[in-house]
Amino acid sequence: MSLDPKHPGVDNLLFYGRDFSETIVERASGTYIYDQNGREIIDFSSGQMCATLGHNHPVIVEAIEKSCKSVIHLDSTKLSRAVLDLAQELCQLLPAQLQKAMFLNTGAESNEAAIRLAKLHTGKFEIVGFTGSWHGMTAGAQSNTYASARRGYGPSATGNFSLPAPNCYRCPIRHCSEKCDKTCLEVGFEQFDSWSVGAAAAVIIEPVQSAGGMIVPPPGYLARLKELCEARGMILIFDEAQTGLGRVGSNFAFETEGVVPDVLTLSKTLGGGVPLAATVTGEQIADDARNKGFNFYTSHVSDPLPAEVGLAIVRLIVEESLAQKALEMGQYLTERLRELQQRFEVIGDIRGRGLLVGVELVEDRYTKRPAIDLIQRASKRCLELGLNINKAGGGNAIWRLAPPLNIEKRDIDRSVAIIEDSLIQCGAS
């Protein structure tokens, strides 16, 4: 890595998972980031999937300024108006079964809280996740994160198991071709039943899996999943860090199937770039947990500043119907990508929902061998041409396209043109 010599501080940074980009970002605005040379780059990753409204949106800046002039941080037993308003207005978007919220900082924290609720409420400890999942890097959340970062750290928390994610393009049990019939779900639970020691507490999944490669469950899958959970007395947790608040073309991904989880976790899209997360459940679980002494007390639970930002984001998403816009722009983006798919054999699959779209590159469509070298070279070339996109899917070669919800068609057109140029210049056919 060769960064600008004017920024030697990179030598003092601890490596934390991926090589640093050579691009130093000097400022960001809307759909764009600007590097040290003033070059304009379209951000098709929305930062770390958090900048739902784009970078430095005026309502976010205003909310931060408002909090800075009133109150930034409080003892966690003291509540600000912003926390109370956010709780009320977020829950107004949710069904009656989800009306009790707590506000934390990161998605990992929100999932830790959800897992602790499930264990305390059920009196059990076994947690089931999806292969390819990403729920965070703290102990409980990481134990149920199967996308990566598992090797070399010793044992995970006791009682964690995984189900095969319903990847229609690459059937995990080599059973289906292109269309999932949910056999993987039935087989997965049969295996779990054989492993379980009778302490099944919860299933935690992303209703549309992101780090695993934009895996969208087939119709009826989530409903059947809930039936299987209820038959075992298990709590169903939906982690909507990347799918909540409009990203997939609805306020929440679970709305598409009409399957309400027992616990919902939110983060990334709720804070718009500011650390904010939420764990939301129903009155029965909340009351039972309180009676049993539930404790998830942190230094920054119910902090006023991020709550002020979250409130502004929730209001804007509703006022500007951004979920509907994400649905429309997502359809347009997918149509443009399918035009490319007709031209390039290396584009094996395009999938996703709303403005969470996956493009899987393969060496050929028959073997479906991941085009690892190509996606690395093409991603680098995209950045050079003015488009920032990132990869997902573990060992597969998948672009994750997740621009801000308020992106315009002209920026989608420009981005697709850059993707096309990068593939051509990298010798793809």
| Fold agreement (8-56+322-425, 60-319) | no
Tell me if 357 sits within 8 A of 350, measured CB to CB.
yes
- pLDDT for 423 equals 97
421 vs 429: CA distance, rounded Å: 12
354 vs 328: CA distance, rounded Å: 7
Q: How many residues does the chain have?
A: 429
335 an active-site residue? no
268 an active-site residue? yes
Tell me if 354 sits within 8 A of 401, measured CB to CB.
no
Averaged pLDDT for residues 324-334: 98
At 136-187, the pLDDT tens digits run 988 898 888 888 888 888 888 889 999 999 999 998 888 887 788 999 999 9
> pLDDT band at 4, cuts 50/70/90?
low
* DSSP characters over 49-108: HT-TT-BT-HHHHHHHHHHHHH-S---TTS--HHHHHHHHHHHHTS-TT--EEEEESSHH
At 270-296, the pLDDT tens digits run 999 999 999 999 999 999 999 999 999
391 an active-site residue? no
Mean pLDDT taken over the chain: 94
Find where tokens 């035009």 sit. Answer: 339
Query: Could you give the 3-state DSSP secondary structure of residue 266?
Result: strand
Query: Could you give the 3-state DSSP secondary structure of residue 44?
Result: coil
Catalytic one of 268, 325, 351, 353: 268
pLDDT at 324 over 60: yes
Q: Which of 6, 5, 69, 61 is nearest to 28 (CA)?
A: 61
Strand partners, 235: 202
- The CATH fold assigned to 60-319 is Aspartate Aminotransferase; domain 2 (3.40.640)
pLDDT at 366 over 60: yes
Q: Which of 1-5, 311-315, 363-367 has the highest mean pLDDT?
A: 311-315
H or E stretch covering 283: helix 283-291
Residue 147 — φ and ψ, nearest 5°?
-70, -40
Report percent pLDDT > 70 for the chain: 98
pLDDT at 2 over 50: no
- pLDDT for 1 equals 38
Q: Are strands 235-239 and 200-205 parallel, antiparallel or unpaired?
A: parallel
At 105-116, the pLDDT tens digits run 999 999 999 999
Catalytic one of 242, 247, 262, 303: 242
161 vs 142: CA distance, rounded Å: 12
Strand partners, 264: 238, 280
CA angle 299, 305, 310 (to 5 degrees): 110
368 an active-site residue? no
Rg of the chain over all Cα atoms, to the nearest angstrom: 21
Catalytic one of 308, 353, 400, 411: 400
**Domain 8-56+322-425 has what CATH class?**
alpha beta
Catalytic one of 239, 240, 303, 349: 239
Per-domain residue ranges for the chain?
Answer: 8-56+322-425, 60-319
Q: Are strands 160-163 and 126-130 parallel, antiparallel or unpaired?
A: parallel
Tell me if 85 sits within 8 A of 311, measured CB to CB.
yes
Catalytic one of 134, 240, 303, 360: 134
Catalytic one of 206, 262, 360, 411: 206
Find where tokens 């549309």 sit. Answer: 208
- pLDDT for 322 equals 97
At 56-98, the pLDDT tens digits run 999 999 999 999 999 999 999 999 999 999 999 999 999 999 9
239 an active-site residue? yes
Tell me if 163 sits within 8 A of 131, measured CB to CB.
yes
Report percent pLDDT > 90 for the chain: 85
Beta-carbon count within 10 A of 190 CB: 9
Averaged pLDDT for residues 338-359: 97
